[in-house]
Amino acid sequence: MSPSHATETTSHTRDRFLSLTALAVLGVFLWFAHNYLSGYVIRILNTIAIYIIVAVSYNLINGVTGQFSLQPNAFLAIGAYVTAILALSPEEKVQSFIIEPMIWPLSKICLHFPVSLAIGGLFTTLIAFLMAVPVFRVRGDYLAIVTLGFGEVLQVLANNLVPITNGPLGLKGLHPYTTLWWSWGLCIMTVFCVVRLVNSSYGRAMKAVREDERAAEAMGINAFWTKTLAFTVSAFFQGVAGGLLAHLITTISPGMFGFMLTFNLLTIIVVGGLGSTTGAILSAAIIVLLGEGLRTFEEPFTLFGHYFQGVAGMRMVIFSLLLIVVMLFADRGIMGREEFSWRKLIDWARSLAGGARRGRK
């Protein structure tokens, strides 16, 4: 056995140890937050987790696979509606659906939250799969406009299929099932799955498609299936995130899932660095916190991270400027395509410490 291989094994053990420690620290922090911090802080922490789920999965299709798709508002909407419809009890449905009663099989169904969440994710995956066939026949700008159009059509459907979605009134009085454990648990699971996927041979195929689709196909990669895989995996997590979101805010309506939502997510992954999962995570947290901070510039009627109608739009002005400035001056974002690793962190800490020591001399 060569010495380098031995070091690699020890560093692997070290990384695993450090990762588990970090998880444990996060767990303790969440336990502390759950028991001792205010509802407002918990809400922000939940929001961050949900945005991380969406950003990381959105980055899979846009950053890693390089397909400029504008679909997350649509997938979040599907996940949110399916989960909410399944989790509401029949009596609550009767109360909500005042314009027209709900159609039969749906009106009687009432499932547990985890089951409806899973079905929400799977249903979104199914829709994504059906969508992939027509959508990935076009590329580039056309893909963007077709996926955007899909979101618009979906919003029209949500507004008009009153017996299923309750139309423009939306669904109210959902139970606040989304706790810190659900949101952060699923967030960690998402990050773990996406990172494993990106580092697998499938992930390398996705990157190859991003760099040059024709060359990738010449190497025997089926570009269509690779894109579809990224798209459907992304859809599953976004559907789940939609369900979490619905049961965090407890009210959903078609207007919530407009293009503005996709725009926010696009800002997140671009600022983080297209193609970097670490960037997506960091940037999701930063942007959610920034959004909360900027709220002081606006009037109180805003709900949850971004707002949909009405009063001042200072926050969106700052976000759009941020997006443009990042594109003009730092189009690689915070992380570029770099990823976090313990080795880099340790090297960085060492160089910092070394620099400080030299400075003191």
Partner 1 sequence: MDYSFILQQIVFGLTLGCLYSLVAIGYTMVYGVLRLINFAHGDLLMVSAYLAFYGIVIFHLPWPVGFGLAIALTAVLGILIDRGAYKPIRRSPRISALITAIGVSFLLENLALVVIGARPKAFPEPAVFVGVLETGTLRIPYMSFWVLGVTAVLLAAVLVVVRRTRIGMAMRALSRDMETVRLMGIDIDRVISFTFVLGSALAAAGGIMWCLRDPPLDPFLGVMPGLKAFVAAVLGGIGSVTGAALGGLLLGLSEVLIVAVKPEWSGFKDAVAFSLLITILLTRPTGIVGEELPD
Among 323, 339, 342, 346, binds partner 1 (CB under 8 A): 323
State which amino acid sits at residue 150. F
Choice between 144 and 169, CB closer to partner 1: 144
Length of the chain in terms of residues written: 361
CA distance 207 to 210: 5
Instruction: Tell me: does residue 153 bind partner 1 (CB under 8 A).
Output: yes
Which positions ≥6 away from 167 have C-beta within 8 Å? 99, 158, 159, 160, 161, 254
Among 75, 236, 304, 319, binds partner 1 (CB under 8 A): 319
**DSSP H stretches of helix in the chain:** 3-36, 39-59, 72-87, 90-96, 104-108, 113-135, 140-160, 162-165, 180-199, 201-211, 213-218, 223-249, 259-272, 277-294, 314-329, 342-360
Instruction: Tell me: does residue 95 bind partner 1 (CB under 8 A).
Output: no
Cα atoms in the Cβ-side hemisphere of radius 13 Å centred on 237? 29
State which amino acid sits at residue 163. P
Nearest distance from residue 308's CB to partner 1, in Å? 11
Among 27, 34, 37, 68, binds partner 1 (CB under 8 A): 68
Among 50, 233, 270, 288, binds partner 1 (CB under 8 A): 270
Instruction: Tell me: does residue 142 bind partner 1 (CB under 8 A).
Output: yes
Structure tokens that stand for 336 in this block: 């570029």
Query: Which segment (31-39, 150-158, 236-244, 275-283) binds partner 1 by CB under 8 A?
Result: 150-158
Query: Which segment (45-53, 118-126, 140-148, 349-357) binds partner 1 by CB under 8 A?
Result: 140-148
Site map 295..314 versus partner 1, x via CB under 8 A? --------------xxxxxx
Nearest distance from residue 359's CB to partner 1, in Å? 37
Choice between 48 and 316, CB closer to partner 1: 316
Instruction: Tell me: does residue 140 bind partner 1 (CB under 8 A).
Output: yes
Among 49, 53, 216, 316, binds partner 1 (CB under 8 A): 316
Nearest distance from residue 144's CB to partner 1, in Å? 6
R_g of the chain computed on alpha carbons: 22
Instruction: Tell me: does residue 256 bind partner 1 (CB under 8 A).
Output: no
Helix (H, G, I), strand (E, B) or coil at 33: helix
Choice between 59 and 267, CB closer to partner 1: 267
Instruction: Tell me: does residue 330 bind partner 1 (CB under 8 A).
Output: no
State which amino acid sits at residue 63. G
Helix (H, G, I), strand (E, B) or coil at 132: helix
Instruction: Tell me: does residue 97 bind partner 1 (CB under 8 A).
Output: no
Residue 121 CA, distance from chain mean position: 13
The values of phi and psi at residue 333, to 5°, are 70, -165
Query: How many amino acids of this chain bind partner 1 (CB under 8 A)?
Result: 43
Nearest distance from residue 291's CB to partner 1, in Å? 14
DSSP 61: I
CA distance 234 to 198: 12
Choice between 80 and 326, CB closer to partner 1: 326
Residue 229 CA, distance from chain mean position: 17
Q: Where does this chain bind partner 1 (CB under 8 A)?
A: 66, 68, 134, 137-142, 144-146, 148-150, 152-153, 156-157, 159-160, 260, 263, 266-267, 270, 274, 309-314, 316-317, 319-321, 323-324, 327-328, 331
